Amino acid sequence: MRSKKLYVTAHPRIPSGGDIRGCLSATELDKAVGDNLALAADTFWRYAQGQIGKDAIRTAVRRAIDRFKRAFLIVHVRHHWVVAVCSDHSFKIYDSAPSLMVHRDIMKLAAQLQWPQPVFPPMPRQRRGSNECGLFAAAVILLLARGQSVPTDTGVVSLEDGRSCFLRREKFVQVVMASPTRRKTSRSEAGATILTRWPGLQQQRKGSQTQRISGRHKRPATHIVLMFLVYMRLPLTPQQAQTREASFKVIFNK
């Protein structure tokens, strides 16, 4: 039995992505973009449960490729929705929250179905901890079905504003295209930001070598031992206390 309510997956047998109470279910995705899909959104969940065979999947995808040159699929893997685009010589996966575990399962799925090696084109990312993978999947399907390309910017985007209108395609596409992208900060930029906010954490030059002192610098083994002793409130030897004072002077530039 499938729930007729939107935004809420009431039955545990209906596959959904992310949090089972917050993400779009297979029923909702079928209502939104089902006419553009070669298979129903719950197909790969049923395949994982042993309810459908791989021959049926291969036949349906082959029929769509022969008719439209490519097949659009929404794949359910690890409580997560991703978009798959199959053609004669390619198998592309659009994933808004990439992870090694999901990629591993996709690689295994491609091998089981005897499809080409999957590739993962860059695309905007969902917010960490958000339940928007279903919204991203619907957005990717609509863009590709319209002949548009998926943006390759890997910045973070929120599609929460489209949750209330994802069934109205024109409005939903407008929300998707108008969603601002928050560029992901690289590690070097994050380090520069830390150094800017904390003047004491700065670069110190010793001779011809430059030692970068930051919140993520690799501490020598002596520092780790000292931190453990201080945490356990154990007494320090005079030599350890002197080493600790010297370390603090280096770290805080005092």
Confidence of residue 144 (pLDDT cuts 50, 70, 90): very high
Which one of 15-19, 119-123, 198-202 scores highest in mean pLDDT?
119-123
Both tokens assigned to 83 = 């978009």
pLDDT tens digits for range 98-107 = 999 999 999 9
Q: Residue 14's pLDDT is what?
A: 55
Rounded distance, CA 252 to CA 185, Å? 25
| Domains delineated in the chain | 26-182 (3.40.395.10), 187-252 (no CATH)
**C-alpha–C-alpha distance, residues 86 and 75, integer Å:** 12
Can you give the three-state secondary structure of the chain, one letter per residue? CCCCCCCCCCCCCCCECCCCCCCCEHHHHHHHHHHHCCCCCCHHHHHHCCCCCHHHHHHHHHHHHHHHCCEEEEEECCCCEEEEEECCCCEEEECCCCCHHHHHHHHHHHHHHCCCCCECCCCCECCCCCCCHHHHHHHHHHHHHCCCCCCCCCCEECCHHHCCCCCCHHHHHHHHHHCCEECCCCHHHHHHHHHHHCCCCCEEEECCEEEECCCCCCCCHHHHHHHHHHHCCCCCCHHHHHHHHHHHHHHHCC
For range 74-86, the mean pLDDT? 94
**Structure-token pair, residue 1:** 């039995």
- Over residues 155-194, the pLDDT tens digits come to 898 888 888 887 888 888 888 888 776 655 444 444 433 3
- Percent over 70 (pLDDT), the chain: 62
Task: Kindly report the average pLDDT of the chain as a whole number.
Answer: 75
At residue 221, the pLDDT reads: 57
Q: Give the pLDDT confidence score for residue 234 in this predicted structure.
A: 57
Q: How far apart are CA 181 and CA 226, in angstroms?
A: 44
The region that residue 7 occupies, defined by phi over 0 for left and psi between -120 and 50 for alpha, beta otherwise, is left
pLDDT digit string, tens, across residues 4-24: 333 333 344 456 555 444 678
Do 107 and 180 meet the contact criterion of CB atoms below 8 Å apart?
no
Please list, in sequence order, all residues whose beta carbon lies within 8 angstroms of the beta carbon of residue 98, skipping any fewer than 6 positions away: 120, 125
Question: Using an 8 Å Cβ cutoff, are 211 and 219 in contact?
Answer: no
pLDDT at 127 over 90: no
User: Tokens 């407008």 map to which residue?
Assistant: 174
pLDDT score for 166? 79
